Amino acid sequence: MVKLFGNLRVSTIPISSYSNVPTFQYSVLLPYKAMIEIINLHKSFGDLAVLSGLTLSVARGETFSILGKSGTGKSVTLKCLVGLLEPDAGEVVVDSTRVDIYSRKALSEIRKKTGFLFQSGALYDSMSVLDNLTFNLSRHHKVTHAEAKEKSEHYLTLVGLSEAIGKMPSELSGGMRKRAALARALVIEPQILLYDEPTTGLDPITSAGISELIRDMQGRFGMTAIVVTHDILCAGIVSDRAGVLKDGLLKYTGTLNELAEIEDEEVKGFFRNPL
Ligand SMILES: Nc1ncnc2c1ncn2[C@@H]1O[C@H](COP(=O)(O)OP(=O)(O)O)[C@@H](O)[C@H]1O
Ligand SMILES: [Mg+2]
C-alpha cells in the first residue's frame, strides 16, 4: 500500500520470507521520487512566450495527458523533456537526471529509456515496417540481427500488425501507421513513453482503437507516460490524470472527472466538442 504525504511516500511492505514467522507489515518513509519532474519551465521563441512557468510531476507508472488547443506549447514541452529544445529557465528532471543541463551523456541515457511517438507518426518510408523497428532497436541497444528481428516481430504482433510485417509504410492505412509507430517506440522497451497527438488524423473509431491499444500497452508494461492530445476521448481512455495547458502553464490538473467540473469555457469546450 502506498500513501502520499507531501513529498513523502509511505510504503507498507509485507514480510513473509520465513514460513514459521507470522506475516506482519511495517511502514517506512521513503522520499517520493517522480519519474518526470518539470519545475517552472520557461521557453520563448523571440517575442513569443510559449511556456511561462510550467510545472508538472508524473509518478512512476502513471499516464498523464496534456490537453491544450493547437499552438499552446504541447510539443515544445515534450521536446524540452528529451533535450530536443533547450529551455530558457526551469528544471527538467527525468529519472533523477537533469535533462536541461545539456550533458551529452545524460541525454543519451534518457533517450535510451524513452520512447517517442511523434505527431506525424513518421515512419521511415524507404524501409519495411519490420526494418523500421529493427533499425530503431539496433540504434539504441547492442543486439544481434536475429534478436532484433525476433523482438520486432513480437511487438508488431502485440499491436496487431503480424500481417503487415513485410509491408512498406505507404501500403498501410492511417491507423496501421500509428500502430507501427507505437510498436517502433515499444521495441526499445522504454521506461518512459511520450506520445504526441497519437490519434490526430484518424477517424473516431480508429482513434478509439489506438487509445485502447495505448491503454493496454501501458497496463501491460507499466511505463511512465505523457500523452499530448486535444482529443478528450483519447485522454479519457488512456490517462490516470490530465492537465490543461493554457497561458504557458498547466492551468488545471486532476482526473478527467475533476477537469469536467472546471468552470472555464476553454476546458468546457474540450468536453463539449470531442475531436
Ligand atoms: N522551433 C521553433 N521556432 C519558433 N517557434 C516555434 C518553434 N517550435 C514551436 N514554435 C512555436 O511555439 C508555439 C507552440 O508550438 P507547439 O508546441 O508545436 O504547439 P502545440 O501545442 O500545437 O503542439 C507555436 O506558436 C509554434 O509556432
Ligand atoms: Mg504539437
Query: pLDDT tens digits, residue range 242-256?
Result: 999 999 999 999 999
Q: Whose Cα sits closest to atom 2 in ligand 1?
A: 45
Nearest CA residue ID for atom 7, ligand 1: 45
The domains of the chain are located at: 1-32, 34-272
- What is the amino acid identity at position 156? L
Name the phi and psi angles at 239, rounded to 5: -95, 150
Neighbouring CB atoms inside 10 A of 266's CB total: 15
Which pLDDT does position 111 carry in this prediction? Answer: 82
Residues 6+ apart with CB under 8 A from 45: none
SS3 198: coil
Any residues with CB less than 8 A from the CB of 212 and at least 6 apart, and which?
Answer: 237
Q: Which CATH number fits domain 34-272: 3.40.1010.10, 3.40.50.150, 3.40.1390.10, 3.40.50.300?
A: 3.40.50.300
Q: Which residues surround ligand 2, an ion (CB under 5 A)?
A: 74-75
Assign 6 a pLDDT band (cuts: 50, 70, 90): very low
- Provide the greatest CA pair distance for the chain: 70
pLDDT, residue 4, reads: 46
CA of 116 to the centre of ligand 2 (A): 13
The reported pLDDT for the residue numbered 41 is 97
How many beta carbons lie within 10 A of that of residue 135, not counting itself? 15
Lowest mean per-residue pLDDT among 13-17, 126-130, 196-200, 224-228 = 13-17
| Pocket lining: 45 vs ligand 1, CB cutoff 6 Å | yes
Q: What is the pLDDT of residues 184-239, one digit of tens each?
A: 999 999 999 999 999 988 899 999 999 999 999 999 999 999 999 989 999 999 99
Find out whether the beta carbon of 87 lies less than 6 Å from any atom of ligand 1.
Answer: no
Contact 186, 221 (CB under 8 A): yes
**Residues paired with residue 56 on neighbouring β-strands, in sequence order:** 38
pLDDT band, residue 181 (cuts 50/70/90): very high
**Mean pLDDT of the residues in the chain:** 86
- Per-residue pLDDT tens digits for 139-166: 888 899 999 999 999 999 999 999 999 9
Using a cut of 0.75, tell me whether the model's pTM lies above it.
Answer: yes
Cα 216 to averaged position of ligand 2 atoms, centre (Å): 24
Tell whether ligand 1 has an atom less than 6 A from the beta carbon of residue 76: yes
- The top-scoring range by mean pLDDT among 65-74, 103-112, 197-206 is 65-74
Q: Please tell me if the CB atom of residue 71 comes closer than 6 angstroms to any atom of ligand 1.
A: yes
Q: Between these two residues, 104 and 82, which has the higher pLDDT value?
A: 82
